Structure 1
Amino acid sequence: MPNSYVYTAAGGPEVEAFADLPRPTPGEGELLVAVRAAGVNPADWKLRGGFRIPGMSTTYPMVFGLEVAGTVVEVGPGVDGFAVGDDVFGNPSTGGYAEFTLLPAAAAARRPAALSFTDAAALPVAGGTAYDGLAQLALPPGATLLVTGVGGGVGVAVAQLARHGGLRVLGTASEAKREFVGSLGVVHVAYGPGTVERLRAAAPDGVDAVYDLVGGAALEEAAELLADRSKLITAADRVAAAKLGGAGVERDRSGRVYTELARLAVDGVLDPRVSATYPLSQAGAALRAVEDGHAQGKIVIEVAP
């Protein structure tokens, strides 16, 4: 059976394929990890479409997946603090939809025994983006935060961490996600015609900050509620946010942050809300579930039992 799910060029689902790739060799500061689980994110299909993270390789085929959990099977030179047999999670450098991947030690954390591989694999992107963005906003307890697209993986993490920090949270999402959003302790505001009016009704005094996860018109509408545009951040479109006076989320992607996220998960503060899992053989279906925009919470590929 092929050991990886890849994209062979920039494009749509037609460029996706299974591949049997050589097992990678860890270099300086890297861990070779046998993958147990890999998180699925909107960035996966955006990268397939041609979007690139600065410094990212463009050599095809490229393995999907920006977050994994698994077990260290080999340690590269210059690595301290990790050993063969350690269970870890973090951001891989060679893709997560695979049986083996390389994980920079600086972007890895140990998986606590009380945290499943599936939940650990759902933390680095959504949980990390949420954590970093809230640290960037630095809101005091009692402040009101609006989250656009609160029903997805990042939004779920933002909502939980914000509520834990004493914030009042409003969130936009489809009407179908009303009950789910309410279960997060978030005031649900439905998308569609009249969204701005509904937001103003829910927050007549405006909001103290906006955490945007959608971009486009949703970002522009949310900005209207802010008196201080420096409190507008986005994980969707930093160019548009800058034009509105805001900024993109500045990511940390360090083992320090991931260790803290694991602690919050074990303590019951942060539940990644994994709504569905798929085997690696159904990686395409897992990606479609996220790309179609209807997933609630996180989707995870379970690579190995």
Structure 2
Amino acid sequence: MPKAYVFTRCGGPETEALVEVDRPGPGPGEVLVAVRAAGVNPVDWKQRNGYRRAGETDSRPFPRVFGNEVSGVVEEIGAGVDGLAVGDEVFGSAVAGGYAEYALLHAAVTAHKPAELSFLDAATLPVAAATAYDGVRQLGLPSGATVLVTGAGGGVGSAALQIARALGLRAVGVASEGKKDFVESLGAVHVPSGPDLAARVRAAAPDGIDGVYDLVGGEVLTEVATLLTDRAELVTAGAPAPLVEKLGGARVERARTAAVLDEVARLVVSGRLDPHVTQTFPLDKAGDALRTVEDGHARGKIVIEVAT
């Protein structure tokens, strides 16, 4: 039987286990893939803790497989799926977990993997890079404008900085002092996180900030909002809608389409976006991969390599 890394109930790391599971079968609008790689994201451990997106209910029985983004090879096609065939190399959003030898993908959010794109890099794109792309696009800033990205050292943040640069924006990234070299290597101005953040941003960007893409939330979001003349140019993926709307901004609107995945893949192939996969772990070490992200020390992207 195929293996998967699961959580057996909502809670902490003590709920996690590598188990054998039945091989899933694709339903309408789904494809089954033999997983090559699975991206690791903060939302993975947050879902284990009981997090649900606004309006989302999850009645799936336990155990539940971790993971939201994968790359792999199509094994089976569900009813109503066009444009995908058995044997295709693809990447996309998992229906119900991706830390597994086999995973179901939503066909509408599954894209063909270009030959020039590795399975490891492809597995980072459906959540992290696509969220970055959606947020930067939502801001709609003109070429030459300055965008501030908080949480710039992580998977979404580092992608957002690069996508902003690819669109002709000046990027300023807020991250810990230990990630200064990393942020600057992406072509962005680094501002260290911590108290009095707004004053440091003003010093680093004396001509002002035209837009903010927040990935942290809380006090950081509240403080950086004061840097904007037009609060409509405030987008967050790090805070709930009521908080950002109170500040005059909005939650990131996720497109969740194969077209967005195609676009971010083109950015990688063209050299304008580097997913920065900094560590890989085998499936039987998925817990270690998750701890690296959960502890907040990850730089770039962490990926679980399921098969080679």
Match of 1:228 in 2: 230
Structure 2 counterparts to residues 23-172 of structure 1, below 5 A: 23-53=23-53, 54-172=56-174
Match of 2:288 in 1: 285
Give the 3 Å change call, closer, same or farther, for CA 57–66 of structure 1 in structure 2: farther
Match of 1:264 in 2: 267
Tell me if structure 2 keeps the 8 A contact 1:2–1:18: no
Q: Distance in 1 between the 2:137 and 2:197 partners?
A: 27
Tell me if structure 1 keeps the 8 A contact 2:153–2:182: yes
Match of 2:199 among 192, 197, 200: 197
- Find out whether 1:4 has 2:7 as its counterpart: no
Provide Cα deviations, 1:159-183, integer angstroms capped at 9, x if missing partner: 0010011111111100000011110
Tell me if structure 2 keeps the 8 A contact 1:151–1:181: yes
Question: How much has 1:94 moved relative to structure 2?
Answer: 1.9
Q: Distance in 1 between the 2:65 and 2:150 partners?
A: 29
Q: Distance in 2 between the 1:60 and 1:244 partners?
A: 38
Question: How much has 1:205 moved relative to structure 2?
Answer: 3.7
> Identity, % of aligned pairs?
62
Gaps of 5+ in 1: none
Provide Cα deviations, 1:20-77, integer angstroms capped at 9, x if missing partner: 1100011111101000000000000111110113254442111000000000011111
Match of 1:253 in 2: 256
Q: Give the residue type in structure 2 aligned to 1:198.
A: R
Q: What SS is found at the alignment partner of 1:204?
A: coil
Q: Distance in 1 between the 2:136 and 2:198 partners?
A: 23
Tell me if structure 1 keeps the 8 A contact 2:2–2:22: no
Matched pairs, number? 305
Question: How much has 1:239 moved relative to structure 2?
Answer: 2.8
- Find out whether 1:16 has 2:16 as its counterpart: yes
Q: Which moved more, 1:233-242 or 1:157-166?
A: 233-242
Give the 3 Å change call, closer, same or farther, for CA 55–252 of structure 1 in structure 2: farther
Q: Give the residue type in structure 2 aligned to 1:9.
A: R
Tell me if structure 2 keeps the 8 A contact 1:75–1:84: yes
Q: What SS is found at the alignment partner of 2:94?
A: coil
Gaps of 5+ in 2: none
Q: Distance in 1 between the 2:59 and 2:37 partners?
A: 23
Q: Distance in 2 between the 1:62 and 1:280 partners?
A: 15
Tell me if structure 2 keeps the 8 A contact 1:68–1:91: yes
Q: Give the residue type in structure 1 aligned to 2:242.
A: V
Match of 1:240 among 235, 239, 243: 243
Provide Cα deviations, 1:64-103, integer angstroms capped at 9, x if missing partner: 0000000001111111111100000000102110000111
Tell me if structure 2 keeps the 8 A contact 1:3–1:98: yes
Q: Distance in 1 between the 2:168 and 2:282 partners?
A: 38
Question: How much has 1:148 moved relative to structure 2?
Answer: 0.4
Q: Give the residue type in structure 2 aligned to 1:195.
A: L
Q: Distance in 2 between the 1:111 and 1:56 partners?
A: 30
Q: Distance in 2 between the 1:105 and 1:300 partners?
A: 22
Match of 1:304 in 2: 307
Provide Cα deviations, 1:83-138, integer angstroms capped at 9, x if missing partner: 10000000010211000011111010000111000000011111100111111111
Question: How much has 1:2 moved relative to structure 2?
Answer: 6.4
Q: What SS is found at the alignment partner of 1:108?
A: strand
Provide Cα deviations, 1:168-215, integer angstroms capped at 9, x if missing partner: 111110000001111011110111223221112112343111000001
Tell me if structure 2 keeps the 8 A contact 1:94–1:102: yes
Q: Name the TM-score, length of structure 1 as normaliser.
A: 0.97
Q: Give the residue type in structure 1 aligned to 2:179.
A: K
Q: What SS is found at the alignment partner of 1:260?
A: helix
Q: Distance in 1 between the 2:198 and 2:60 partners?
A: 40
